[in-house]
Amino acid sequence: MQRNLLWAAIALVGATAVLLVVPIWFLNADQYQALATGVQALGVTVALVFGAGTLLSDTRNRRVDRALALHAELTTGDVQAARVRLLLRLQATREEGKVRPVSLDRLRTDGEFAAYADPAQGRPIRDANVVLRHFDRVNAARVAGIVDLPFLHELIGVHALWWDRAITRDENEPLLRRGLAELATWVERHSRTEARGAHYLEGWARYLRRDFAEPGEDPAALR
């Protein structure tokens, strides 16, 4: 879009030059002054349109950048480390290496889930909170409209669905999981309304069968 705006600006400058230079040879002073005033007014109008188009393009670029930043935060640093530790812990509770969905309460109190083999890694509940807080930020950005939604769906959607399955919804603690639950619900709804939605949900169903011990309802059936 920015390239199109640049070419439009070049064309505008060229047309303005022609309108102002060529009539010098054919118009008297009063006629030329009237023409110059009209061209100036037209130039101001077009400049305003050009500026608005540039602003819209810049705004979308910023929304894309925010989506990229949220994805980078999810897949690097503290959030990524917390995701990997918790994933390995949930896999370790099954002989076949499948992920076993677990509630926040069990992560706090159940001896099977509440601690890592290496105490230096901290506690699973802490890592779960790190992951959930990240999805809170993603969902808040979505609700506020400051990220590009199709791009956010592509980058983070499947991660939200995966963790919404891994950390089970708990009616006793709705606030702690509200951001993730709302984000996962939006991802499924967005998938159903897009042309690629069927393929997206079918791919997600394959993730369920591959990663989880008890896949439950197949999201492909939600189409």
Q: For residue 2, what pLDDT is reported?
A: 42
* pLDDT confidence of residue 43: 54
Q: The whole model's pTM is what?
A: 0.70
Taking only the tens place, the pLDDT of each residue in 2-50 is 445 444 545 554 555 454 444 555 555 555 455 456 555 445 444 544 4
Residue 137 has a pLDDT of 96
Instruction: Tell which residue, 175, 92, 77, 89, has the closest CA to residue 132.
Output: 175
Report pLDDT for 218. 41
CA geometry: angle 53, 57, 61, nearest 5 deg = 170
DSSP-assigned letter for residue 212: B
pLDDT recorded at residue 11: 54
Neighbours of 77 (CB within 10 A): 10
What does the block give as tokens for 220?
Answer: 């492909």
A 10 A CB-CB count for 131 gives 21
Mean pLDDT of the chain, nearest integer: 76
Q: Which residues of the chain have pLDDT under 70?
A: 1-58, 95, 195-198, 214-223
pLDDT at 100: 87
Q: Following CA atoms 141, 191, 219, 206 in sequence, which dihedral angle do they give, to the nearest 10 degrees?
A: -100
